[in-house]
Amino acid sequence: AQSVTQLDSQVPVFEEAPVELRCNYSSSVSVYLFWYVQYPNQGLQLLLKYLSGSTLVKGINGFEAEFNKSQTSFHLRKPSVHISDTAEYFCAVMYSSASKIIFGSGTRLSIRP
Amino acid sequence: EPEVTQTPSHQVTQMGQEVILRCVPISNHLYFYWYRQILGQKVEFLVSFYNNEISEKSEIFDDQFSVERPDGSNFTLKIRSTKLEDSAMYFCASSPSGTSYEQYFGPGTRLTVT
């Protein structure tokens, strides 16, 4: 079945510390991967996407993610977080163009000063 | 920068009433979607729409739901007889073409059924 798993429902981290949010997806011949961010009481904003090519993708706000086909993972990283990064982060997958996006359950990132 | 807009931002309705949620997709986009997010849960796909037809729908999208593109700009989601469990944030999204992998999301409509 097509699915996305985010193992951590909450990740607390100190300001300026590095963070990694984990994501695994169910394998398929073709897969397109995304990370979305949802700030409190707001909609979904695309952070970054992997469609093809380089397995390391860079997004907005200093985030990056690495596509690992053998481990079916697409973990999100940031070397130094800021208070303003406090939000819910959703990993998502699409298995073909113009099809539905399947979202993970989300990881709440909380930043401590 | 063009964006997807949704109205209203918050709607409160009584159980059993009909509601219509409205979306204005980005103007040259051809594919349209509705998703919902029950409070504290993940975002779930409801339906996709292309060329005035439903192209895919989820198990959630039962007979009480319908979608329509009544004119060249609006895309609506109708819930015929609302239930308490329909309370959620509803997101509209649009995509420019069949070869696009990016969907642009609106800010959402929070539906509260009492």
pLDDT digits (tens, 9 = 90+) for A14-51: 999 999 999 999 877 788 999 999 998 788 899 999 99
pLDDT, averaged across chain B: 93
- Beta strands B10-13 and B109-113, pairing class: parallel
**Rounded Cα gap, residues A67 and A75, in angstroms:** 7
Is the CB of A101 inside 8 Å of chain B's CB atoms?
A: yes
Nearest to B42 among A32, A42, A105 (CB): A105
**Rounded Cα gap, residues B49 and B46, in angstroms:** 10
Question: Is the omega angle on the peptide bond into residue A113 within 30 degrees of 0, that is, cis?
Answer: no
Q: What pLDDT score was predicted for residue A66?
A: 96
Judged by average pLDDT, the poorest of A30-39, B55-64, B91-100 is B91-100
Q: What pLDDT score was predicted for residue B111?
A: 98
- Beta strands A87-94 and A32-38, pairing class: antiparallel
- Asked if B102's CB is within 8 angstroms of A49's CB, the reply is yes
How many contacts does A have with B, using Cβ atoms within 8 A? 54
pLDDT digits (tens, 9 = 90+) for B8-20: 999 999 999 999 9
**CATH 3.40.640.10 is the classification of domain B5-97+104-113:** no
Q: Where in chain B are the domains?
A: 5-97+104-113
Q: What pLDDT score was predicted for residue B18?
A: 98
Structural domain count, chain A: 1
| Mean pLDDT (whole number) for B85-106 | 90
pLDDT digits (tens, 9 = 90+) for A57-89: 999 999 999 999 999 999 999 999 999 999 999
- Asked if A98's CB is within 8 angstroms of B98's CB, the reply is yes
Range of the domain at A16: 4-112
Please name the residues between 52 and 111 in chain B that touch chain A, using a CB distance below 8 Å: 55-56, 58, 91, 93, 95, 97-103, 105-108
Residue of A53 and A1 predicted with greater confidence? A53
Q: What pLDDT score was predicted for residue B43?
A: 93
- Asked if B56's CB is within 8 angstroms of A101's CB, the reply is no
The dihedral formed by the CA atoms of A36, A39, A42 and A45, expressed in degrees to the nearest 10? -20
CATH number of residue A21's parent domain = 2.60.40.10
Dihedral sign for Cα A96, A97, A99, A105, please: positive
Write a three-state SS string for chain B.
CCCCEEECCEEEECCCCCEEEEEECCCCCCEEEEEEECCCCCEEEEEEEECCEEEEECCCCCCCEEEECCCCCCEEEEECCCCHHHCEEEEEEEECCCCCCCCEECCCEEEEEC
- Asked if A103's CB is within 8 angstroms of B48's CB, the reply is no
